[in-house]
Amino acid sequence: MLCFENDYSEGAHEAVLKRLLETNMEQLPGYGTDRYSESAKEKIRSVCGCPDADIYFLSGGTQTNQTVISSVLDTHEGVIAAQTGHIATHEAGAIEWTGHKVLMLPQKEGKISPGDLAEYLASFYSDENYGHMVFPGMVYISHPTEYGTLYTVKELSELSSVCREYRIPLYLDGARLGYALAARGTDVTLRDVAKYCDVFYIGGTKVGALCGEAVVFPGADTPAHFMTKIKQRGALLAKGRLIGVQFDALFTDDLYLTIGRNAIETADALKEVFREKGYEFYINSPTNQIFVVLENDRMERLKEEVIFSFWERKDETHTVVRFATSWATNMEDVEKLAALL
C-alpha cells in the first residue's frame, strides 16, 4: 500500500532519533529546564536573528494554538483567522473551549489579505455597537496555509503593519514551516517571520520530530508567568527534554532548513505526474500538499492501493482529495503512484 496520507506518517528523522538515543540516560532536570532545551533555544534565536526571544516547547499544534492564543488575549477578545484557518475548522473548538471566539475573515487560497484585515478592523471600530461585540485581539495566520499556499514578505509586512496600527499581535502557525522555508520561489525566511510576527511557532511534529513545536516570542513580550499558564492548560511535559533534544537536533547544521527540500522535490514530481495525466488541481500549492479533484469511482479504485486524504466533496460525482509528501517520502513511491495512475 502506498501512503501519501499526510506528513506525519513516519516517526522521526534519523538525526533526531540519534540525539534522543545518545542523550537517553543522561539525568536532566524536568519541565524544559535542561541544557538541550537551552541549547535548542539558543540556536533558534540565532537563526531567527532575535537574540532576546523567549522560546517554549509544546507537544502539538492544536495545543500550541490554544495555549498561545488563550494566554495572549484578554477575556473580551477574539482571534481573527481565515474561514479555512486550522483554528476555525479542524481543532474541535479548542479556542472557544478557552472562552474566545474565532472571528472569521474571507480567504483566498487559504490566505487573508491585508486589505480585508484593515477593512474588518476599521469596520469594527466604526460600528456604534462594537461595545457589544467580540473585540479583535489577535490575528492568526498559517504559513504554509491549510491549502499549502504561502505568504510573501510583502504580504507579511503589510499584515504586520495593520496589526501594529491597531496594536494587536500577529501570530503565525508554522506547523509546516519547514516546508514553507524550503519551497521554490518563496522570499520568506525565519528572520522575516520573526521580524513581522509578534509570536509564532516552528512546527516539529510534521517536520521530522516525533512531536513538538517551538513557540517564539521574538520581542520577549511573553505573557506573564507563561510557564505556569502552559502547565494550567495541561501542556507542560515533565520530560521537557523530549522536545528540547529534538529541536536541538533539528537546528543543528541547519537540518530544519534543509529537511523540507525532499518534501518539495517529491511533491513537485508528483504534481508533474498529475499534470501529465490531465488531473484537475483544486488549488495551486507550492509546498508539500497537493489538492486534486477526483471522479468518485476513480477515487474508490485508487483507495485500494494508495492512502490519501479526503478533503471535501466537490459535487455529486467528484471529491477533492489531498496527497501529502514529507521529509520522509521516497521518490520511488512517487514513481509507483505514477505507474498506478
Residue 61 or 218 with smaller CB distance to a copy of itself: 61
Instruction: Give, for 47, the enclosing helix (H) or strand (E).
Output: helix 35-48
- 115: contact with a copy of itself by CB under 8 A: no
- In whole angstroms, the minimum distance from the beta carbon of 74 to a copy of itself comes to 6
Residue 47 or 302 with smaller CB distance to a copy of itself: 302
Residue 21 or 220 with smaller CB distance to a copy of itself: 21
- 335: contact with a copy of itself by CB under 8 A: no
Candidate residues 276, 313, 317, 332; the one interacting with a copy of itself per rule CB under 8 A: 313
Whether the Cβ atoms of residue 171 and residue 197 lie closer than 8 Å to each other: yes
Candidate residues 51, 90, 165, 258; the one interacting with a copy of itself per rule CB under 8 A: 90
- 207: contact with a copy of itself by CB under 8 A: no
- In whole angstroms, the minimum distance from the beta carbon of 106 to a copy of itself comes to 13
Rounded Cα distance between 32 and 23, Å, is 15
Distance linking the first and last C-alpha atoms of the chain: 14
Residue 189 or 309 with smaller CB distance to a copy of itself: 309
Phi-psi region of 249 (alpha: psi -120 to 50; beta: other; left: phi over 0): alpha
Whether the Cβ atoms of residue 71 and residue 110 lie closer than 8 Å to each other: no
- In whole angstroms, the minimum distance from the beta carbon of 30 to a copy of itself comes to 6
How would you class 49 by CB atoms within 10 Å of its CB: exposed for 0-12, middle for 13-18, buried for 19 or more?
Answer: middle
- 126: contact with a copy of itself by CB under 8 A: yes
- In whole angstroms, the minimum distance from the beta carbon of 42 to a copy of itself comes to 21
- In whole angstroms, the minimum distance from the beta carbon of 229 to a copy of itself comes to 5
List binders of a copy of itself among 57-76 (CB under 8 A). 59-67, 70-71, 74-76
Q: How many residues does the chain have?
A: 341
- 284: contact with a copy of itself by CB under 8 A: no
Sheet holding 318-324, edge to edge: 280-281, 289-295, 318-324, 309-315
**Which cell numbers hold the place of 215?**
513557540
As separate numbers, helices (DSSP H) first and strands (DSSP E) second, the chain gives: 15, 13
- 331: contact with a copy of itself by CB under 8 A: no
- In whole angstroms, the minimum distance from the beta carbon of 56 to a copy of itself comes to 13
- 99: contact with a copy of itself by CB under 8 A: yes
List binders of a copy of itself among 156-195 (CB under 8 A). none
- 47: contact with a copy of itself by CB under 8 A: no
- 293: contact with a copy of itself by CB under 8 A: no
Rounded Cα distance between 159 and 180, Å, is 18
Residue 123 or 258 with smaller CB distance to a copy of itself: 123
Rounded Cα distance between 185 and 179, Å, is 12
Q: Helix, strand, or coil here: 245? A: helix
- In whole angstroms, the minimum distance from the beta carbon of 5 to a copy of itself comes to 7
Rounded Cα distance between 168 and 135, Å, is 10
Size of the site for a copy of itself (CB under 8 A): 85
Rounded Cα distance between 341 and 337, Å, is 6
